[in-house]
Structure 1
Amino acid sequence: MEQKHTISILVNDQPGVLTRVASLMGQRGFNIDSITVGQSEEPGLSRMIIVTSGDDRTVEQIMKQFHKLIDVLKVQHLSSGPMVSRELALIKVEATPATRAEINGVIEPFRASVVDVGPASLVIQVTGDSHKIDALIELLMPYGIKELSRTGVTAISRGVATLAKV
């Protein structure tokens, strides 16, 4: 059965690493649902978080292929254990002075906040898991979403497990 998988990859912070990882996924016919890359806790190393869909066997193949890439130091299947994952979205919504209070009432249960007010729009910031963000977007659609930007998922394992350099 196909399901979402979150994979964390610790890599050397070198030009071309992201391209090699994305190319490997494309060449093997695997889709990237989300990818985020940023500095890790160790200087000179970056952490990539990739969300993809597939069965367990497919994900196992992907992880083996990642291990073969130059500059990949460690690969971890985060979603196989307890993890914390978050995404950030900025949503620009049409808003008149008459609808602003109503929109604030919609976003408040999501712990979202208004980060910019324009003459005919609001920019709303929300963080949380992908399902939470999807739900807020759906509730804001009737107001007219003018623009949407999502970061993609970032994640980390819970507890003492780490993806530190070996």
Structure 2
Amino acid sequence: MEKTYTVSVFTENSIGMMNRITIIFTRRHLNIDSITASESEVKGVFRYTIVLRTTKEQVEKVIGQLEKVIDVLKAFVHEDAQIVHQEIALYKIKTDALTNGDVEKVIRQHHARILTVDREFIVIEKTGHVEETQLLFEKLQPFGVLEFARSGRVAVTKPMKNLSIYLDELAK
């Protein structure tokens, strides 16, 4: 049965790492729903957060393949109940839409905030799950969305050893 899984991959910072990671998914014909990369809490260690929809067997095979890649320190797979996650979305609409009080109501109802007001446009920010950011996009459509961008998932796990413990175990 297919489910949504979040894969966390901890790596050294090396050129081409993103390509080496994503090729493993491509070879298995798995579509990545979102991917984010950033530094982790450990200096010199980077974290890739990858969201995909697949079976438990497939994702476990991918984890095994990822851990064979040089410069990958550790990979984990989590179901949604095991993580706390958010995404950020930015919406750009024409400033004259503000003259109608309805835009402000929509922004407040969705717990979003205005980041910038320019002569020609305003930029609105919303953090939340993909369903929440998508719903706000749909509510803003009648006001003329000029641009829309959504980040990939950013996640931290609920139950997990500290990354530095795993790194110490690898060093031994």
Higher relative contact order, chain-length normalized (CA < 8 Å, sep 6+): 1
Letter of the 2:122 partner, please give it. L
Contact 1:4–1:51 (CA<8 Å) still a contact in 2?
yes
- Displacement after TM superposition at 1:145 (Å): 1.1
Task: Look up the SS of the partner of 1:90 in the other structure.
Answer: strand
**Runs ≥4 in structure 1, deviation > 4 angstroms?**
none
Q: Does 1:42 align with 2:35?
A: no
Q: Aligned equivalents of 1:111 and 1:43: distance in 2?
A: 34
Q: Aligned equivalents of 2:140 and 2:3: distance in 1?
A: 27
Q: Which runs of 5+ in 2 are unaligned?
A: 167-172
Contact 1:95–1:143 (CA<8 Å) still a contact in 2?
no
Contact 2:9–2:74 (CA<8 Å) still a contact in 1?
yes
Contact 1:75–1:163 (CA<8 Å) still a contact in 2?
no
- Displacement after TM superposition at 1:80 (Å): 6.1
TM-score, L = length of structure 2: 0.88
Q: 1:13: which partner in 2? A: 13
Contact 1:5–1:54 (CA<8 Å) still a contact in 2?
yes
- Displacement after TM superposition at 1:15 (Å): 1.2
In the alignment of these two chains, the number of paired residues is 164
Q: Which runs of 5+ in 1 are unaligned?
A: none
Q: 1:23: which partner in 2? A: 23
Task: Look up the SS of the partner of 2:116 in the other structure.
Answer: strand
- Deviations for 1:91-148, whole angstroms, at most 9, x for unmatched residues? 112341422x311110112221111113342210111111111111111111111101
Percent sequence identity is 30
Contact 1:112–1:124 (CA<8 Å) still a contact in 2?
yes
Task: Look up the SS of the partner of 1:104 in the other structure.
Answer: helix
RMSD of aligned C-alpha atoms?
1.6
